[in-house]
Structure formats: structure tokens, C-alpha cells
Amino acid sequence: MEGKLFKIVDAPIASDALYEEVLKDYNGAVVTFCGVVRDHSGETTTDFLVYDAYKKMAEKKMSEIGDQAKEKWNIEDVAILHRIGRLEIGEISVLIAVASPHRAEAFDACRFIIDKLKETVPIWKKEVGQNGEAWVEGPQAAFAGG
């Protein structure tokens, strides 16, 4: 469905992967958010991350979050991709695109979406680095983009 794509993927995500999905003639703003794997977590060096998800439930929850954002703001189109598997430093872990007639709603909705995704979507993150490896629990587990 146009402007309503919610997928867990195991391939690299391009930063512009969702732009065309949400770009429509009636929208005046497209806001995107890229969560990117960084080289540290707190004071600890990170070598890479591993994401896992309950795929079917995660996609359902992402769709619900998109619907909530559409109800709360005057936004027309939403799309979310989240990657699973091993991700290297600098790779995109999550990509969100929100389109609306005006920019304020698109920015507000995009922030709402990433915050809700971190809180509610069953995605788990393992950090691997100089101090070994550990599964991260809680809201910080959903994505590496801080």
C-alpha cells in the first residue's frame, strides 16, 4: 500500500529508500530519520551490533504506530524500515519517512514514531565491542541512533 510500508529487513537500507514511497503531489514536506550504528555505547567502544526481532509482531506494531501518528497529526503517508542481523558502524538500522502537507506535523510525527518504536516494537539489540557482548534491554535496545 502506498505511503504505508512497515518492514523488518535483513539487507542494508539506503538513506533514500522510502522517499518515493511517501512522496505525493499533495504533500509539501517529507521528513526522514535514519538511526545509524555508532562506534560507542556510553564509554564502551562498539565493534558492531546484531539486531533480532519477532518479525511479524514488529511489523504489526510499526503499522499501529504509523496509524497512531496519522490520527494525531495531519500527515498523509508513513513508512518504516528496520534492519536485523549484523550491522557495522555507520550502517542504517532504522529508516522512517513521514510526509504531510506542512513540515511541522511531519517533524512532530517522525519524532513520535521513533520514540514509540523504541518503547513498543519487539526488536532486540546486541552490542559487541571491547568489553565483550551484551543484549541491550529497554527503550535503548530498539535502535542505535541515540
Q: What is the mean pLDDT of residues 101-129?
A: 97
Helix (H) or strand (E) holding 96: strand 92-100
47-94 per-position pLDDT tens digit = 999 999 999 999 999 999 999 999 999 898 999 999 999 999 999 999
Residue 16 carries which DSSP code? T
Task: Say whether pLDDT at 144 is over 50.
Answer: no
Give the pLDDT band of residue 2 (cuts 50, 70, 90). Answer: low
Query: What residue spans define the domains of the chain?
Result: 4-141
The dotted CATH code for 4-141 is: 3.90.1170.40
Calculate the average pLDDT of the chain. 92
Q: What is the pTM of this model?
A: 0.91
Q: Is-contact 142 116, C-beta < 8 A?
A: no
